[in-house]
Structure 1
Amino acid sequence: MTTDLDAIRHVIDTVEHAQNHEQPDEFLALFRPDAIWTTGGGKRLYGLDEITEFTRQVLPGGMRGMSVRFELEHVLFIRPDVAAVKLRQVYTTPDGLDVGSPLWIMAKEDGRWLLTACQNIGVPDDEDVAPGRPVFGAAS
């Protein structure tokens, strides 16, 4: 499983790189065609076409003045070819830090780990979150 874990870490690193460098194609290449993606703002996207349309609207310019890093917290191999990947997502913005808690379900297909069903959410009680939630908005 070390090889699979390394491959999953590579996907995480690629998402981080693609977001920080605003490279939609690099990001979109990581998805299955029928993937599900729920944004940190709760927008539900079904299939690569919807994910692509959304990404091409928000990623160019969306990271201006910010950066993000992903910290791998846990991987649960549901089956040898399916993994639940829990992350801590830390945005650095001019207004301070904001923290998300993505869960990515990944599937291994033809030797590649692909994003399959993913959801993001802000973490309101994280000690690093700046007042006003610069990325995820005010906590309710």
Structure 2
Amino acid sequence: MTETSTVAPVVGDTAAGHDADIAAIERIIADTERAFNTNDAELLTAHFARNASVVNAAGMRTTGRDELLRVSREGLAGPLRDQYARYELLDVLFVRPDVALAHKGARAITADGEPLDVEHAMLALYVLVKERDRWWVVARQNTIVPG
């Protein structure tokens, strides 16, 4: 094994030169926040690819946009009905020009928008792919941050 094969490469790049892509990803995060806070399952799933895979904060995996819509409708009509959150895009790494990894932080808020958390209560990793000049979420993994 040569020395160059043991040195890990830097893969992808940060937001430099990706202003329009960052703005598009920020809109996806903003739509997700609005959908969660208004119990809008259709908007919540609008940016997901048909074959997307999601792991929620409880560790439940859902595959496929249709199934994700069904699960979202149930959650937003049930246990998530009276919960609210503020989302923040924390960083984006462009693995390739058409593949991005985005981290989102989430804080619980009241219905009036007052923060309930000082720090993020949840972090989410989004894997996005640019297809036909549009960004699509192909995977999301939610993780509860221990308080």
* Short-chain TM bin: 0.7 to 0.9
Counterpart-to-counterpart distance in 2, 1:107 and 1:9: 14
Deviations 1:67-106 (A, max 9, x none): 1011111100011111000111111259x43700100001
Match status 1:2 vs 2:31:
no
Task: State the secondary structure of the residue aligned to 2:121.
Answer: strand
- Structure 1, 56-65 or 69-78: larger mean CA deviation: 56-65
In the alignment, structure 1 segments of 5+ residues that lack a partner are: 130-140
Q: Give the whole-Å Cα distance in 2 for the aligned partners of 1:62 and 1:18.
A: 15
- TM-score for the superposition, normalised by structure 1: 0.82
The farther-off stretch of 18-27 and 54-63 is 54-63
Q: 1:24 deviation in Å? A: 0.8
| Higher Cα Rg, which structure | 2
CA 1:49 to 1:65, structure 2 compared with 1: closer, same or farther past 3 Å?
Answer: closer
Provide closer, same or farther for how the CA distance between residues 47 and 64 of structure 1 changes in structure 2, counting only shifts above 3 A: closer
Deviation at 1:61, TM superposition (A): 4.6
* Distance in 1 separating the partners of 2:59 and 2:67: 14
Q: Distance in 1 between matches of 2:139 and 2:60?
A: 13
Which structure 2 residues correspond to residues 123-134 of structure 1 after superposition, within 5 A? 123-124=145-146, 129=147
Structure 2 residue runs without a partner (length 5+): 1-17
Instruction: Provide the rounded CA distance (Å) in 2 between the counterparts of 1:17 and 1:3.
Output: 21
Q: Tell me, yes or no, if the aligned pair for 2:103 and 2:123 is still in contact at 8 Å.
A: yes
Are 1:65 and 1:93, in contact at CA under 8 Å, matched by a contact in 2?
Answer: no
Q: Which runs of 4+ in 1 moved over 4 A?
A: none
Q: In the TM superposition, what is the alpha-carbon distance from 1:52 to its structure 2 partner?
A: 1.6
Q: Percent identity?
A: 33
Match 1:100 to one of 122, 125, 134: 122
1:23 corresponds to which letter in structure 2? D
Moved more, 29-38 or 48-57: 48-57
Of residues 32, 35, 41 in structure 1, which corresponds to 2:49?
32
Within 5 Å, which residues of 2 pair with 1:1-140? 1-92=18-109, 96-97=116-117, 99-124=121-146, 129=147
**Structure-2 separation of matches of 1:31 and 1:62:** 22
For 2:39 and 2:96, locate their aligned partners in 1 and report how far apart those are by CA, in whole Å.
Answer: 33
